[in-house]
Structure 1
Amino acid sequence: MAKTAKAQASFESALAQLEDIIQAMEGGDLPLDTALTSYKQGIELIKFCQGKLADAEQQLRVLENDELKPLDLTDGQ
């Protein structure tokens, strides 16, 4: 059985596992019980990833003295 979100070592591995679950579920060939288990695992992975992103954002706020500014992607145009 696949690892749970709590056992994930990194954001990247959790995201890759979530992508695998999505791909399998989109295939439509999973039995109902397996689909429900995968859905629950996906929810756990989403919560884990959201937590990791929130932690990263908090670290950026600390590093930027709570002056986090929106990213300007216009390349100076």
Structure 2
Amino acid sequence: MGNKSELTFEEALNQLEEAVENLEKGELTLADSLEEFELGVKLTKFCSDKLEQAQEKIEIIKEENGRVKIEDYNYQDEGAE
């Protein structure tokens, strides 16, 4: 997977998609399948962490009493799990 700090979310997602495709083909040896699966797990965690970081940065702009108010986005307020 290379150095995680240099990998972008998009690159990791593309690599994850490739790993899934390779596993779905069913043409890998058991050892290669396990290696590809392990890579997929690491990439999934990396992407999940990146999404969490991005979510923490999202701000919602609300207008209250004619003034703009900026609040941190809280996905739990939206009913997400």
Structure holding more strand per residue: 2
Q: TM-score w.r.t. structure 1 length?
A: 0.75
Higher relative contact order (CA 8 A, sep 6+): 1
Structure 1: how far apart are the matches of 2:6 and 2:37?
17
Look at both structures and tell me which one has the larger radius of gyration over its CA atoms. 2
Matched pairs, number? 66
Deviation string 1:40-60 (CA, Å, 9 cap, x unpaired) is 010000000000000000001
Q: 1:1-77 counterparts in 2 under 5 A? A: 3-4=1-2, 6=4, 8-60=6-58, 63-64=59-60, 65-68=71-74, 70=78
Between the two proteins, what is the percent identity of the paired residues?
A: 33
TM-score by length of 2: 0.71
Residue 23 of structure 1 deviates from its aligned partner by 0.4
Verify the 8 A CA contact 1:5 1:45 in the aligned structure 2.
no
